[in-house]
A and B are shown apart, each in its own frame.
Chain A
Amino acid sequence: MKRYSLEHEWAILEGDTATIGLSKYAVEQLGDITFVELPQITQRAAKDESIAFIESVKAASDIYLPLGGEVIAVNESLESAPELLNDDAEGTWVMKITVDDASEFETLMDEAAYLSYIETL
């Protein structure tokens, strides 16, 4: 199941591995994505800490970890083709992490809650 953070990242948890990406809403707000600064493998961050960075023609934005953990993989294809996020935000992963505390996943919003949350923005 996919869950969402207040900062518009999505996460899918399988065992203690979370796959993380950006919501369609976030990508639409940023517009044409031109650059993604991916984290380093083994880089660690706590929940809601900035770990990566994204630029669009219009603006720049941090990517926050929706769950605390350690980066174990990054989607390198975003380095040469950041526009993949514009084409399919919900289907394009940015990084995978080993989570420190799987229960943090339960604090994230499900899709219905997230959709009502972005209505309020």
Chain B
Amino acid sequence: MDQLKRTVLFEKHQQLQAKSIGFGGWEMPVQYEGIIKEHQACRQDAALFDISHMGEFFYEGNLEESGVNEVSTTDFVALPVGKCKYGFLLNEKGGVIDDLIVYKLSPNRLMFVVNAARIDADFQQIKSHIKSGIFEDKSNVTAKIDIQGPKSKALLQTLCSFDLDELQYFGFTETTLLDAPAIVSRTGYTGELGYELYIDNETAPKLWDQLIALGATPAGLGARDVLRMEMGYSLYGHELDETITPLEASLGFFVKFNRPYIGKEALEIQKKEGIPRKIIAFSTRTKRAPRHGFEIFQNGQKIGMVTSGTFSPSVGEGIGLGLVTCAQYQQGEPLEIKNERGAVAIYETTLPFYKKS
């Protein structure tokens, strides 16, 4: 197996005695002191995540004529400068090569933020469809630190000359942090107020230390997964992959049909004929946690599979997402999940699992 890559903050994680796991080809901290403590820090205070494994591509050129506007479901031409947007790279069948966020830096400049495990596939996909302009992968020189939680704004503001009150959700600014150029966006994957910080590799360790000194709690991928699950957000490799369309993943909201892009025809056919599968959200109503790969049964028939599952500290119950076959699934009929240990009843619910009081 290939050697796992390490982020520029790896030594910091070691100093903090983080437990690590392999994730998307990277050796990443899964937890420091404990997933529940880190989860609570994000919901109530401010949590800090090293997300430097994710990829950043930059494009500069004519957005209308280069073909770049057809690589994704997001209309980059229509996107205002200073805004970022969630969307998909699709294959011709409408399957998801990756989900990504694209930042409009200027009328002819974009930043693509992609999943770590998909960096190579995404770069090839985009590169092969653009006819002009400069397209670069700067993942190896770009660090990314997310600060998330109700206290994140006050905390980050002490390091930032830009007035963070001016940033709306999915807005960003090019500014400086610790005298180095930085992109600060009002985004995140936790459901909390929070910011994603893009910074050069040299500045990242200093920034990490300063944010901790100011009171942010380092949090690992374990807490991050629980937080995104509580919001019902999809994760590539779980709710999304090259065989699942955004319509099946219940993400049709992020797909528009008013302009051409790769995979659009396949989505149109699916929309017209009906989607073969869909994502359902459910709770166990007990502390039992569903897990990825458990089979979903209804009326004695296997109708799908759990794509993500965990125990939710906010809800106090096991929560999950699952992909079911529409032709077999009957709304309202009892459901259960099974693994080698036996069956557990599940109850369909609406998203998000966690609603702020």
Contact = CB atoms under 8 A, between A and B. Distances in A.
Interface of A: 31-32, 34-35, 53, 55-58, 60, 82, 86
A34 B31 contact: no
Contacts of A56: 35, 311
B82 interface: no
Nearest to B288: A35
Contacts of B226: 57
A120 to B, nearest CB: 18
B35 A60 contact: no
Contacts of A31: 31, 34-35, 222
26 contacts: A31-B31, A31-B35, A32-B35, A34-B289, A34-B311, A35-B286, A35-B288, A35-B289, A53-B341, A55-B287, A55-B288, A55-B289, A57-B35, A57-B36, A57-B222, A57-B226, A57-B289, A57-B311, A57-B313, A58-B30, A58-B31, A58-B35, A58-B222, A60-B291, A82-B287, A86-B34
B37 to A, nearest CB: 8
Residue of B30, B289, B310, B313 ringed by the most chain A CB atoms within 10 A: B289
Given A57-B313, A58-B30, A58-B31, A32 B341 contact: no
A34 to B, nearest CB: 4
Nearest to A60: B291
A35 B287 contact: yes
A121 B171 CA distance: 46
Interface string B246-289: 00000000000000000000000000000000000000001111
Contacts of B30: 58
Contact of B34 (A32, A35, A53): A32
B17 to A, nearest CB: 11
A96 to B, nearest CB: 23
Residue of B31, B34, B39 ringed by the most chain A CB atoms within 10 A: B34
Bin the interface of chain B by size: 10 to 19
B58 to A, nearest CB: 35
A58 B36 CA distance: 10
A79 to B, nearest CB: 9
Residue of B35, B286, B291, B311 ringed by the most chain A CB atoms within 10 A: B311
A86 B31 CA distance: 15
Contacts of A57: 35-36, 39, 222, 226, 289, 310-311, 313
A86 B36 CA distance: 12
B296 to A, nearest CB: 17
A47 B34 CA distance: 32
Contacts of A32: 34-36
Contacts of B313: 57
Contacts of B291: 60
A31 B18 CA distance: 12
Residue of B226, B287, B310 ringed by the most chain A CB atoms within 10 A: B287
Closest 6 CB pairs of A and B: A34-B311, A35-B287, A57-B35, A32-B36, A55-B289, A57-B311
Nearest to A29: B19
Contacts of A58: 30-31, 35, 222
B311 A55 contact: yes
Nearest to B226: A57
Contacts of B286: 35
Given A31-B222, A35-B289, 10 more contacts: A32-B34, A32-B35, A32-B36, A35-B286, A35-B311, A55-B287, A55-B311, A57-B226, A60-B289, A82-B287
Nearest to A86: B34
Interface in B1-54: 30-31, 34-36, 39
